[in-house]
């Protein structure tokens, strides 16, 4: 895994869903940490929304502004999968992208369908689902969705992991110039990371 060939996809983390998604605030917290990783490593971030005329924009607590030009686009959709024509065009315009990191909601619908379609795509993208950055309205749906992804789709280039593990996998080497900034993020986000992992993964040990 290399930052130069990695993109982050944020799915439908809209303000309207805040009251109904389990652990929504933790998904936002982890997402913001991962956006910091993307910024220091230079990874593009693509965002989707689901029917904004009805469901509104991305939650304002998600710090997309900090990314500058790394936030390449926000595409509205009606599909459950993120792989709309616009997103597919984005991928076609960046053939160097080989790894895609998924965050957002809902685990058992949009995240699952996106992961499966990426696995079926001719490019065979290596797809990472961040277990501490996804959730659903019904808490019990989440471990089942992640189980389906991790247990049944290992052969299809899909990996379920955590934000911190993925960050270290991207960085790979403590001698990199980005390591100090990365290390500071890990330290600054330590408490928030612990809370997110406990809330979102505390009941998922069977995975």
DSSP E strand stretches across 16-70: 45-50
Identify the active-site residue in 12, 36, 39, 132.
12
What's the DSSP call for residue 111?
I
Alpha helix segments (H runs only) across 61-111: 85-93
- Across the chain, the runs of DSSP E, i.e. the strands, are 6-11, 45-50, 71-77, 99-105, 126-135, 158-161
Q: Which of 33, 36, 39, 77 is catalytic?
A: 77
Of these residues, 11, 33, 110, 132, which one is catalytic? 110
* 2 among known catalytic residues: no
Assigned token pair, 68:
């500058």
Residue 33 known to be catalytic: no
Q: Is 59 a residue of the active site? A: no
Q: How far apart are CA 167 and CA 174, in angstroms?
A: 12
CA distances from 52 to 12, 44, 105 (A): 9, 22, 15
**Which residues, including other chains, have CB under 8 Å from residue 168's CB and lie 6 or more apart?**
none
Q: State how far the Cα of 104 lies from the Cα of 130, in Å rounded to an integer.
A: 9
Question: Do 45 and 7 form a contact (C-beta atoms < 8 A)?
Answer: yes
Q: Which residues are catalytic?
A: 12, 77, 110
């Amino acid at each position: 895994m290399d930052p130069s060939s990695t993109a982050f996809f944020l799915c439908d983390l809209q303000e309207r869903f805040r009251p109904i998604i389990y652990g929504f605030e933790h998904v936002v917290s982890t997402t913001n940490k991962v956006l910091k990783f993307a910024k220091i490593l230079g990874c593009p971030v693509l965002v989707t929304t689901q029917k904004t005329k009805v469901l509104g924009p991305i939650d304002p607590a998600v710090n997309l502004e900090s990314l500058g030009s790394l936030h390449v686009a926000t595409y509205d959709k009606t599909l459950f999968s993120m792989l709309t024509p616009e997103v597919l065009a984005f991928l076609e315009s960046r053939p160097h992208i080989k790894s895609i990191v998924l965050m957002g909601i809902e685990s058992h619908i949009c995240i699952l369908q996106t992961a499966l379609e990426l696995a079926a795509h001719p490019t065979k993208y290596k797809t990472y689902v961040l277990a501490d950055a996804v959730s659903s309205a019904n808490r019990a749906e989440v471990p089942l969705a992640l189980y389906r992804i991790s247990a049944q789709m290992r052969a299809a280039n899909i990996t379920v992991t955590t934000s911190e593990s993925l960050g270290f996998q991207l960085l790979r080497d403590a001698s990199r110039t980005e390591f100090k900034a990365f290390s500071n993020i890990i330290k600054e986000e330590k408490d928030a990371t612990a809370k997110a992992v406990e809330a979102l993964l505390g009941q998922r040990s069977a995975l």
